[in-house]
Amino acid sequence: MSSREVLEKEVQVVEDRLSQIVKLIEDLKSRKAPYPPRLTKYEIARIVAARAKQLANGAKPLVDTSKLDSKDPVIIALQELKEGKLPIIVIRTLPNGKKVEVSVKELLTKYEIFTSKILA
C-alpha cells in the first residue's frame, strides 16, 4: 500500500469521526439525544439502590446469578445495569423546567457509542 493510500485512509477515518461528532452535537442541540449522554453517578446510585431493594424483597434477577461471585442484591443490581437489562426510565429536569424521560438502555447505548467511536 502506498503512502498516498495510507494517508487517504487516515483522512477518511478523521472525516468519519468528525461527522459523528457533528451528528451528536446536532442531536444534543435538537434534544434528540439526552444530555449528558450517560448516566450520572447520582442516577446510577438511585437505580442500583431501587433495584437492590426490589431484589431483597424477592424480585427475580434479570441476569444469571450463577455466574456471579456474590448473591448480594447490590452486586446483582450492578450487573443488571451493566448488561442493560433494567427496564427503568430516568426522568431528567431540564433548565427550562421541562421533564425528559430517557430509558437506561438508551443512555447506556448513547454513552457506548460516544466513548467507543468518538473518543477512540
75 within some domain: yes
83 within some domain: yes
Which pLDDT belongs to residue 51?
95
CATH of the domain at 84: 3.90.940.10
29 within some domain: no
107 within some domain: no
Flag whether pLDDT at 114 surpasses 60: no
Overall domain count for the chain: 1
Report pTM.
Answer: 0.63
Q: Are the C-beta atoms of residues 38 and 111 closer than 8 Å to each other?
A: yes
What distance in Å separates the CA atoms of residue 28 and residue 55, rounded to the nearest whole number? 35
18 within some domain: no
Average pLDDT score over residue span 74-85:
90
Structural domain including 81 reads: 39-102
| Angle at alpha carbon of residue 41, lines to 94 and 89, rounded to 5° | 55
1 within some domain: no
Q: Which residue has the higher pLDDT, 72 or 102?
A: 72
Which pLDDT belongs to residue 29?
67
91 within some domain: yes
